[in-house]
Structure 1
């Protein structure tokens, strides 16, 4: 069976374990069902997620020109403390910025390879944690806009990491910790503007991934260097496909690439 389509991050369903779906042209693949099967992945062409043209992808699924134009790639995406929609100030597209920034956001602790602090829209819980490969997570504050979440994350980053060690995450070198205790210890560092939004009544969310075998020595599949690859899928964690030969493929890193996938 053969599929073709432009890569976007896999859609997920919060089940035990997580269900993954890869959307292709006019169809989708229920990825859990092909774990244990041999598959072929082949690069076909580029398709910018903004203009749709066959132009080399620069970053985040966009060609060079669109990356510097579309609001979905503006600086406030990665640095929420730069959000200005609450001030009625436009960066690239005020309508879009208000739609995304002026809604409830969560600052959270997640544990994938280590404890890290992060920000996401409330509507993206627990999707954001799944995409990061976190096996446990907990909310710290729920604030009414992205700016407040950003300055809270910025303050907490002084006391806890804000990056995931993706290699440790994929090798499943994890340690269960009491995230509620860590959340409580961080409360005093929350900025005054966000103190009223602190959450102290919730419990950890636990996440299990469909993995038959974790890799020992990681090899990353790079479509620019290896445009065609065959391998037996052994699991999925975060947005990574894990293969029997210890190759891992980060689907999200290759958004905007059109690929052909075939079950062998």
Structure 2
């Protein structure tokens, strides 16, 4: 059976074991059901997630022109501290920026390859943690806008990482950490503007990923270059498919590519 569609990050469901779904336009693939099966992935063409053009994908699933024009690809997406909607200052589209920036945001700690600090909209919890492949996470601060979350993250990343090592995450090379202890240790570094929003009494969230076998030496699949790949699926973690031969395929990192998946 063959499925064709433009890649977008997998949808997830937070259950005892994380459930993954891939939108292939005509149908949803429940990816967990493909575990222990051989599948083929072939590259067909590019398709910008905004304008549908066949131009090469630049970043985040967009062609170059869309990436530099769209309000949902502004610098404040990757650098929340640059948010200005709370001041009424437009970057690319103030109405859009207000709709995203002026809503509750969470500053959190997650443990995937190491303990890291991150920012996301409140409504994206726990999806954000799933996408990062974190096996445990905890909220530190809940603030009313993206700017406050951004300056808090900037302050905290002087004392804790803000990056995930994707190789270690996929190797499951990480130790359990007491994130409550980490949260309490980092409290002193939270900016005064955000201190009133510190979350005092909460516990860790634990996540369990559907992985039968972790790769010892993960090698990333560049489907644009390879054109065709076939392998046995043995795991799903973060937004990665893990294959028996230690090949890993980052679905989110390949958004905007039209592929055919053969089962």
TM-score normalized with structure 1 length: 0.99
CA-CA distance at 1:41 after TM superposition:
0.2
SS of the aligned residue for 2:225 comes to coil
Unaligned runs of 5+ in 1: none
User: What residue in structure 2 maps to residue 123 of structure 1?
Assistant: 123
Q: Is residue 70 of structure 1 aligned with residue 70 of structure 2?
A: yes
CA-CA distance at 1:224 after TM superposition:
2.1
RMSD over aligned CA atoms reads: 0.5
Count of residue pairs the alignment pairs up:
263
Partners of 1:82 and 1:114 in 2: how far apart? Answer: 26
User: What residue in structure 2 maps to residue 160 of structure 1?
Assistant: 160
Deviation string, structure 1 residues 204-252 (Cα, Å, up to 9, x no partner)? 0000000000001111100221111000000000000000000000000
SS of the aligned residue for 2:217 comes to coil
TM-score normalized with structure 2 length: 0.99
User: What residue in structure 2 maps to residue 226 of structure 1?
Assistant: 226
Partners of 1:174 and 1:21 in 2: how far apart? Answer: 26
Partners of 1:231 and 1:261 in 2: how far apart? Answer: 11
User: What residue in structure 1 maps to residue 146 of structure 2?
Assistant: 146
CA-CA distance at 1:26 after TM superposition:
2.0
CA-CA distance at 1:181 after TM superposition:
0.4
Matches within 5 A, 1:16-55: 16-55=16-55
Partners of 1:99 and 1:211 in 2: how far apart? Answer: 37
User: What residue in structure 2 maps to residue 12 of structure 1?
Assistant: 12
Matches within 5 A, 1:100-139: 100-139=100-139
The structure 1 segments of at least 4 consecutive aligned residues displaced by more than 2 Å after TM superposition are none
Partners of 1:15 and 1:151 in 2: how far apart? Answer: 32
Unaligned runs of 5+ in 2: none
CA-CA distance at 1:87 after TM superposition:
0.5
Partners of 2:254 and 2:166 in 1: how far apart? Answer: 16
Partners of 2:37 and 2:16 in 1: how far apart? Answer: 21
Deviation string, structure 1 residues 135-173 (Cα, Å, up to 9, x no partner)? 000000000000000000000000000000110000001
SS of the aligned residue for 1:149 comes to helix
CA-CA distance at 1:174 after TM superposition:
1.3
Partners of 1:125 and 1:211 in 2: how far apart? Answer: 22
Partners of 1:71 and 1:170 in 2: how far apart? Answer: 32
SS of the aligned residue for 2:20 comes to strand
